[in-house]
Chains A and B, each alone.
Chain A
Amino acid sequence: MADVAEKTTNGNGDGGREEIKVEGEVKEGGGGGMGVGGGGGKTRLVDLRSDTLTCPSAGMKKAMVEAILGDDVLGEDPTVNALQERMAQLLGKESGVFVPSGTMANLIAVLIHCDRRGCEVFVGDNCHIFLWEQGGVAQFGGVHPKSLKTLPDGTFSLTELRQAVRRDNVHFPRPALVCVENTHNMEGGKVLPLSWLDELAVTCRELGLALHMDGARLLNASVCLGVSPERIVRHFDSVSVCLSKGLGAPVGSVLVSSAQFIERAKRLRKGLGGGMRQSGVLAAAGLYSLQHVYPRLSQDHQHVQIIAKAVNECVGGAVTCDPGGAHTNILMLTCDPACVTPDQFCLRMETVEEGEEEAVGERVSCRMISINGTTVRLVTHNDISSDDVDALVKKLVYVINSLSGSQR
């Protein structure tokens, strides 16, 4: 039986930092138990599994209720149109299309760039399009993905790219597109260097390849670099941006590109089943987040730095991280398998054990995700307050120190 945790959420960028107390849902199943051991008392749930967990704030809901709506399949929803224009403007592109998810945004982009039989797309071997979209580009688009080794900074070698592009031989598919991911999720939310992006653009132009950016967390990159999103994507033919991640909207992404590309994208969106009707109700949340949540993204980055610093100050090395490598709102924790595996660590962090409440000062349950044999990922977001971070840090320090003391 799971504990009902009381979760405090932050002001969600509403200027006045209103504290909204939200009852945590009673989780059915899910990863690991919660609040095991100890008697009674409320448990603070700090859910860092992803920034997709954010729920709309009161201000966002108000914007959603007040939005003017229409049938977007007929192009008559003014709120959706406004969001599309706003995002296109922000990224310096001609047009945009609102879609239900980042997966669909990327799928549409690849399928339009690779619109003829036998195309090839070049992607990093650790990127979301390659690993986490169910092979959709092949399944639906008949597109062959050629993976390039992802470097620790999220980039790949341009030399390797040049070598991989092969033409004019009946054995080869037709190279059509290069995709990059910024920020790079699996590399720990790393921001791709601007200079590399510019060089990549030059290379692609030379090689006659189109360029797409999976910018799910693009605005985090923009905040980290202190440059406009337009500058980052200046040389890209198309960009996808998620509203449902750090920006805190409940649903949706926007794909931006030239007007002609977006017309085709709208068509494909319909064919895939992404044509929604009065979706202005969701687009309104997106517009709200661009105005109110985007300006506070740097706070999520600061939270990561606080957590990273605290982790590194622990002794024993059971769990370590690289604060310098944490550019944005994602932190990768490396577990020493001799002390603890990532799954064990996640379970331990979620559980409240005997004596812990006294040491930490309260009952804290933290959820994270183990992503491979040695790594645990945590993601800060709009619904994580400074108090949550303080409580989390206390728990992390307590747990890591206790783990370091007990070698397996």
Chain B
Amino acid sequence: MASIDSLQFHSLCNVQSSIGRRAKLRIPSNLVVFRRRPVNLNWVQVETKRRFVCRAIGDSSTPDEDIQNTQNDDDVVVVVASTESNTPSDSENSVSRFRSMITTLPPVVFVMKKCSGNGIWIGICIAATVLVAAVRTYVVRKSRDNQPAGSVADLVRRGQLRSGDRRGISKSLNYEDPFNNPFVKLDKGNSTVEMCGKVYRLAPVTLTEKEQTIHQKRRSRAYQWKRPTTFLKEGDSIPPDVDPDTIRWIPANHPFATTVSDIDQDLAQTNVYQKQGVPFRIRAEHEAMQKKLEALQNEEKLNNLSIDSQNAREFQRPYKLGTKLEGENIQKNSQDNVTGNSSSEETHKT
């Protein structure tokens, strides 16, 4: 049990002025003893409120009694001034000093026992952290498996879509140059490539030229084919000068079979090679229309030439015109009569 029983303080200070009145004794001593009462067994407390009582210790017999008298007071600090140098007391002081040093050191066991409760909490924290990390990994893997491929979240996870693009807060990518692709990353150590969130390994191609030649020979033996030059509908007869191997029979509803070639082959070729000017058919139609217009104009001219304006009357047909006019006059007269009768009746009424 640690406790401080006494504290010895060696000082050359002169306390004559403050203490001298009471004690009437000068204390030039080189030894001042502070004897304190243990207030707390565990802690050393220095209380400045204690009273310092200086007693003169002249005889060797009296100081113990005086000290004993003051021991009853807990708050009294006894300053004991001793005379000079008695060598047996020096050795005793050193021993007691050494003893006090040892007793003031707290034992390790005591410290460990004090901290034993904290170890449990540290272990609990570590275990909780590991558990949280494991649960988090499991949840991430589960969500990755559950996410449908091709969904927006999957695209974002794979790095093919940026989440900021949908919210309109991302910066535009400068990807006009197809040669520098920031989404392709090479691993310098291994032969792996990371693209769009997936890791790939490069596997060498195993096909050799000899194998290719073997396959070509195999195909040449398996597939004997001549390019067909003649397309005939099913049911048509084979022309005499055509090689049967070059004939391709096509069904009746095939686009080739349902088309009537009303255009000459040379003309078609010419049309394809035309670089400028009006296309053939447009030109042909235009020319046809031009001819038609000219023909119409010619016909009008002819009509205009044969009919003279001065002699227009001679070419009139009065009979027909007259019969028409007479017919019209008769109709008008009949209408007038009807209207005239009606008007006369109205006038009579009014």
Check if A and B associate.
no
A residues contacting B by CB (< 8 A) are none
Which residues of B does A touch, CB under 8 Å? Answer: none
